Chain A
Amino acid sequence: MADVSPSGLTERQAKEFHAQFTKTYTVFVVLAALVHLLVYAYKPWF
């Protein structure tokens, strides 16, 4: 039987999913950073 990973994903699937996961997470972080900049410009909290 071929070597099955603990999660059941193949190496290709894991890499494919990770590429999308990191892309989505990067967009999330960039948006959050942008919003924090806008809020800081509106009312500095330090």
Chain B
Amino acid sequence: MSDERVPSPSNPADDWKMWLVVNPATWLMPILFAVLATALVVHIYVANAGIFFNLG
């Protein structure tokens, strides 16, 4: 492997380069489901904390 230095990205200007590695046709839905799962876990936790609404 040549010792070619890869310039480190400067974000957020280079954020778009993520999609040169991660294909959204494959990964957009898994990403959105991960966001949904996180939101559900947080809402279930808050519900069980009984601050606003009680499920049981």
Contact = CB atoms under 8 A, between A and B. Distances in A.
A11 B21 CA distance: 11
Binding site secondary structure of chain B: helix
B45 interface: no
B37 to A, nearest CB: 15
Contacts of A6: 20-21
Size range of the interface on B? Answer: 10 to 19
Contacts, number: 38
Given A14-B16, A15-B16, A18-B15, A39 B23 contact: no
Contact of B22 (A7, A15, A39, A45): A7
B51 interface: yes
B52 A17 contact: no
B17 interface: yes
Interface of B: 15-24, 51-52
Interface of A: 5-9, 11, 13-15, 17-19, 21-22, 39, 42-43, 45
